[in-house]
Every structure is written in C-alpha cells, then in structure tokens.
Amino acid sequence: MSRGTFVIAIDGPAASGKSSTAQMVAEKLGYLHVDSGSLYRAATAAALRRERDASKWTEQSVLDSARGVEIRAARTSFYPVLDGRAIEEEIRGPNVTDNVSRVAQMRRVRQWVDDKVRAAAE
C-alpha cells in the first residue's frame, strides 16, 4: 500500500457487529469498507454451487470455485459477485454460514482473500 493509506482492522467473534460498525465508520470517514468475511462467504457459496456435500471439498476445489468470484465497488464498500450477479443474500444464508469456518481455515483460500483485499485497497 502507498504512503498515506490508512487501514483499520476490526477483529472479534462472529455476529458481534464488526461489519455493521466498520461500514458506519467507513461512511463517516469516506473510506472504503473491505469486508474480508464476505469474501470467505462468497468462496463458500461458490463451492456449494459446485458441490453441495462439503465433506467432498478439497482446498483446491474451493479455490477453483472461488476464482469465479469478482468484487465490485459501491461508494464506500464492495460486494461479491458470482456468475455476474450480486450474491449478498446468498452469502448470508444458513448453508454458507454452516460451512464458512471450514473454508476460512484453508491456507490457500486465505491467501486468495488477502490478494482480493489488497487489490481492493489499491
């Protein structure tokens, strides 16, 4: 990141209001809110579309699915897109919620998310 770029990270347990708080802070400051959790959720949704049985997933199959995820900016935040359509509702559903922690533990998927976050920050 270039000099003068600010990064604010908020960490905490699931469903504690991190994203809502971060979005409000970003709007107040005019910053871009980059929700890395939505990328893990998008990767999970993409993997579910390919294979409903999560026990059959490998790190490579999830990563291959995730490569179809794009991010698009909207004012002070971004949102994931899969197959040309916004998937916000899908990534907040119970199937994704039940499987996202498994995906978030995959080293190469974590690297994919880091790369997407860095690209969004640029």
The separation between the first and the last C-alpha atoms of the chain, rounded to the nearest angstrom, is 7
Give 78's strand partners.
73
pLDDT tens for each residue of 24-78? 888 898 887 888 889 999 999 999 999 999 999 999 999 999 999 988 877 667 7
- Strand order from edge to edge, sheet including 85-86: 69-74, 77-82, 85-86
Cα–Cα nearest to 44, from 35, 56, 34, 54: 54
Query: Which domains, ranges and CATH numbers included, belong to the chain?
Result: 35-70+78-121 (3.40.50.300)
Q: How confident is the model at residue 18 (pLDDT cuts 50, 70, 90)?
A: confident
Task: Return the pLDDT at 39.
Answer: 93
Q: For the whole model, what pTM was predicted?
A: 0.84
